[in-house]
Amino acid sequence: MIKVVIVDDEPKLRQGLQTLIPWGDLGFTVIATAGNGKEALKVIMDKTPQVVIADIRMPVMDGLQLIQQLRSAGQHLHVIILSGYADFEYAKQAIKYGVAGYLLKPVNISEMSASLKLVREQIEKESLSKEGHQGEGMNRDLYLHSLLVPQEKTEDPAKLSSKTKQADLLWGSYEVVVIYPRVSDADRSEELIRLSVGLKQGIEARSMGIVTVISPYVILLLNAPLRGRQRRDNLYGEIRSIAGDTRFAAATGGAVTEQKYIRSSYVKAQEAVKQAFFSRKNSLLEPDIPCLPSPPLPRLPDDNYEERIEDLIFRLYYCLDAGNKTMVSQLLNEAAAFFLKQGQDEKSVKQSFFFLSNAIIHKLAAVSRIELKETETVSRFLNGIYQHDHLQDLLEEIHSFLSEFAEDFEPKGKEQEIKKMLDFINRHYAEDLRLSSIAGLLNYSTPYLGQLFRNMTGDYFNTYLDRVRIQKAKELLGQGMKVYEVAEHVGYTNANYFHSKFKKYEGRSPSDYKNP
């Protein structure tokens, strides 16, 4: 059966044509319909029909623009034009493109049937001509598609070689490059055609290979290997020049020497382009190239996902509080390495960083580091996480945004660093503070920082922390708070332990202090 797509902005006419025309008897089958030229482009790229029946007047993209796009892209489909009486002058322009038929509305069934019979005869003649011709007659686009898309059965090597020769594809080398435009689904078909037209003018004009489209990719089949970084960079630059402002990813599947392996190159190129988010920026990607290098991960028991996330949130938040922007960057890289280790794809990695960033922002908001007036800025930042094409750009953006809320950190010798540490303790005395955790934030070893702290303050770290907590406890007890409540508020989970500490430093129990 010959595949047909009907394009008209009137639903009743589309439905009428589908039901009133005896398609099967005429040797045709309607595989899809569309309401305008832009919708039709996507359908045509996906379904590869042989015949298009299109209204000349439609919103968004009319029939004439649709034909222009198809012809520019090298799509030599058989098109039957439908128009009203008032559109005749306009329709004459479409006839210049070699349309297969021109019918007035309302469509007459017998006239449409007659036009379809003529189109079928023409398609049959073309098919016979291709079978008997030994050169330019073979449709290289269709043949290339058959090599790239899996066939139901393996073709005889001798027959395959004969077809390859007919299609003028009997080369010494083949290399597939796929180009994926990063555009919305609604704009994809139009962008694929624009890119393919631009690349045909360069690649095919210089006899470097052929260009075709299999949605969602523009595909180049090159007749010489892309050996060396310079050749790959030159091709990438050519693609970027044609793409203009359109974001895209491009990858090669590597060179092969036999046509039966062309599909293998195509599959590898697809796999590489799907990993573009994790790969180098501004370059033609290659198969089997590892992702961006990642730092080793600190070990947690069983690498529990929830524990790891909580640990990352904890350390990132306190690094911001301590003003250590360098450590923030290291922790974001550690988070990326962890997400990759979990086997997360691009979408999942972005979701994970959204959650991580949102949790830290909520912690910052809880201590008034982010004001209400900044809510719109925060929302824009969080939504922007999903717009990044490369992991490295995403990490830099998150680091830049979060660092705006870090305390100023300008080390001026050891005294300044200890002062920073004391300020940190006075803000977070109620939490589970450990010298080892703070040492990590300040990039010191735990023993060295402990000795430095004692030299500067005269106290061991734990002693100083106890003194701060007891001082805060005295303030709360003076406000009438119950002893066990005070213990929890200042960081002691055990009321008896708090009681012994209080008595050690104050010489009396908390209850005695509360009731003199």
CATH code, 99:
3.40.50.2300
Q: What are phi and psi of 29, to 5 degrees?
A: -145, 130
Distances (CA, A) of 336 to 88, 297, 383, 438: 61, 10, 18, 23
Residue found by looking up tokens 């030599």 in the block: 76
- State which H helix or E strand residue 255 sits in: strand 248-256
A 10 A CB-CB count for 277 gives: 20
Judge contact between 72 and 193, C-beta under 8 A: yes
396 and 439 in one domain?
no
Mean pLDDT of all residues belonging to the chain: 81
The DSSP code for 457 is: H
Q: Which of 256-260, 297-301, 431-435 has the highest mean pLDDT?
A: 256-260
First-to-last CA distance in the chain?
100
185 and 235 in one domain?
yes
Split at pLDDT 50, 70, 90, the class of 105 is confident
200 falls within a domain: yes
HEC-encoded secondary structure of 59-120: CCCCHHHHHHHHHHCCCCCEEEEEECHHHHHHHHHHHCCCCCEEEECCCCHHHHHHHHHHHH
284 falls within a domain: no
pLDDT at 197 > cutoff 60: yes
pLDDT score, position 248: 94
328 and 371 in one domain?
yes
Question: Which residues, 6 or more positions from 62, have their beta carbon under 8 angstroms from its beta carbon?
Answer: 36, 37, 55, 56
Comparison of pLDDT for 419 and 222, the residue scoring more: 222
pLDDT score, position 391: 92
Peptide bond into 106 cis (omega under 30): yes
Condensed to tens digits (0 to 9), the pLDDT of residues 449-479 reads 787 777 777 788 888 888 888 888 888 888 8
By CB atoms closer than 10 A (0-12, 13-18, 19+), residue 417 is buried
66 falls within a domain: yes
How far is residue 318's CA from residue 509's CA, in Å, rounded to a whole number? 33
128 and 7 in one domain?
yes
How far is residue 22's CA from residue 1's CA, in Å, rounded to a whole number? 13
Q: What angle do CA 297, 301, 306 make, to 5 degrees?
A: 80
Domain count, the chain: 4
Residue 252: give its domain's CATH number. 3.30.70.270
Largest CA distance in the chain: 112
SS3 367: coil
Domain boundary among 381, 403, 425: 403
111 and 15 in one domain?
yes
Split at pLDDT 50, 70, 90, the class of 88 is low
How far is residue 351's CA from residue 335's CA, in Å, rounded to a whole number? 12
Residue found by looking up tokens 């523009």 in the block: 218
Distances (CA, A) of 62 to 43, 88, 501: 15, 14, 83
222 falls within a domain: yes
116 and 12 in one domain?
yes
333 falls within a domain: yes
15 and 114 in one domain?
yes
Condensed to tens digits (0 to 9), the pLDDT of residues 128-156 reads 665 554 444 446 677 787 788 765 555 56
137 falls within a domain: no
User: Identity (one letter) of the amino acid at 447?
Assistant: P
A 10 A CB-CB count for 127 gives: 11
Comparison of pLDDT for 417 and 10, the residue scoring more: 10
293 falls within a domain: no
387 and 440 in one domain?
no
How far is residue 260's CA from residue 74's CA, in Å, rounded to a whole number? 25
pLDDT at 38 > cutoff 60: yes
pLDDT at 159 > cutoff 70: no
37 and 15 in one domain?
yes
124 and 8 in one domain?
yes
pLDDT score, position 374: 62
Distances (CA, A) of 44 to 54, 74, 102, 189: 12, 13, 20, 9
pLDDT score, position 180: 95
How far is residue 60's CA from residue 42's CA, in Å, rounded to a whole number? 14
pLDDT score, position 97: 67
The two beta strands, 101-104 and 248-256, are unpaired
327 falls within a domain: yes
Which residue segment(s) compose the domain that 114 sits in? 2-132
How far is residue 155's CA from residue 168's CA, in Å, rounded to a whole number? 18
14 and 111 in one domain?
yes
Judged by average pLDDT, the poorest of 202-206, 208-212, 285-289, 419-423 is 419-423
pLDDT at 56 > cutoff 90: no
Judge contact between 461 and 453, C-beta under 8 A: yes
Question: Which residue, 92, 256, 265, is CA-closest to 171?
Answer: 256
How far is residue 38's CA from residue 83's CA, in Å, rounded to a whole number? 18
399 and 418 in one domain?
no
Peptide bond into 157 cis (omega under 30): no
Residue 424: give its domain's CATH number. 1.10.10.60
